[in-house]
Structure 1
Amino acid sequence: MSPMMLLAVYGAALVVSSVAGGALTQRVAMTHTRAQLAMSLVSGLMLGIAFFHLLPHAVLTLGIHHGLTTVMSWTMGGLIVMLLLLRILHFHQPDYPAEAIAVCEHGHDHGHKHGAAETGVPAAREVTSVMAPGVSWRGVLIGLTFHTFIDGVALGAALLSAPHGHQQQLLGFGVFLAILLHKPLDAMSIVALMKASGTTASSQTRANLLFAFVCPLGALLFYFYAMGLGGSGELVIASALAFSAGAFVCIALSDLLPEVQFHSHDRVKLTAVFLLGIALAFMMANTAAKHSHAIASLSPV
């Protein structure tokens, strides 16, 4: 499949998953444990994609002797930019608003370390009030829009970074999978906050639809921009991969670290799915490397 066809298929799938996530929030309360399991899995996958896919391809694109400093500089830039966006707009939270989330599947405190026993506030509700005081759905929408646009740039760069073939498709698929699993959670956050703020269902639907198209738009814009640069596009593609890797690391840890710090329940399950996400990314990278070595061994000397 050509990169353009892959971009069309991936873009359509991302729109559907994002819209479905937001629509689900309008009808079903997302339970705390399920949300944390999903975030742990996606955090592991995003970290794995950053370290096993994006960074190695960025270095290979520029060459290790001349490009390593450039790649690491752009990686740090992506991490800092995403951190500043999180600081300013508070758009990533480890829980959904209290009005839109079931306290827990079993209706009791699972050992959250927020003083729930002292205040009598249910665990999931207190996490929200402690972690995200005064969060506005508009700030969350703006912040997640920036975040998902960067995801789109990462997808576009991944589809352009390697020679056409199996290795490129696995790189693009890895980035796509991380985004695909993350977008419904982002859409859920937006719609849940809008719902808790008393906005109309039609406003929630409009915001959900607009948000769903941002990532494919980012991928499309970057794809055509880089293609138009010709030979000088390699530096831009490698820089975008490295910047995206830094952003992925920041987002993954922003989901993961609050869970590690504040929650003591379901440690085994949450750790297992986190490691599963990393393992998936590693297996895809290992498969691509083996395929590349097999092709190299068949090539004439």
Structure 2
Amino acid sequence: MTLLALLLIVTIAVDILGNLLLILSVYSNKKLRKAGNAFVVSLAVADLLVAFYPYPLALIAIFHNEWVMGYLHCQVSGFLMGMSVIGSIFNITGIALNRYCYICHSLRYDRVFSLSNTFCYVGLVWALTVLAIMPNLFVDSLKYDPRVYSCTFAQSANSLYTIMVVVVHFFLPIAIVSYCYLRIWVLVLQVRRRVKPDIQPRMKPHDLRNFLTMFMVFVLFAICWAPLNVIGFVVALKPALDSSIPEWLFTASYFMAYFNSCLNAVIYGALNHNFRKEYKRIVLTLCQLVCRTD
């Protein structure tokens, strides 16, 4: 319990600090205020959803070793947790489609991903997210699970529904993103080997670095969320296996997934020069303001 509490405290702190820095960076730096980064900001908002409400409630449950916040908080917490997860994978899919269009279909990019169109796409992502999470309110699948001290999606509530959730909300988006990034990697290799020298002008060094950053966001999301989704999918296919899954494995898969919410902003700060530079500028400005007030 102590280990889980420490992990959750670190996740909440890094999640809030990192994602607020990311949003402020895009807002204050014109170089970062691009159409494609609208999905990056949207992903940061999805990560912040869990840091301000569901995770603190899970922390309270760990301290009390039970859920003490009542039924309404349980349902709201589970709903926001689901919105964050689905919103994250849908935004990652949006990022992949944006990069695919930018690199592989550069002549159409400015028309397809104009600023107004991109805002519409982000709105569509959140509309689909709310639509995807709504069925949970009607199948009574948001319940407190003492193994993870959280009100979350109960995988054993309905086998058919669980299979649909895992396929539509995880496997299908992962397949789409994998296809986009595979096509981009093939194109990058072709450019490097001069198989397609005609597309070289679009492939600038900073474009490749941005792509690698977004690719790492996808890879870490897939790694963090795959164990939980695979367990849910297997149990839904064969419910008898539910009792044979070790509790430590189930708990570890959940908290591994929770930890992902604080990684995205860190990845952008570590791998993207413009974000890293803006992070430093914002932190130094805040420190100067604090020193002046003192």
Per the normalisation by structure 1, the TM-score is: 0.38
Structure having greater relative contact order (Cα 8 Å, sep ≥ 6): 1
Per the normalisation by structure 2, the TM-score is: 0.39
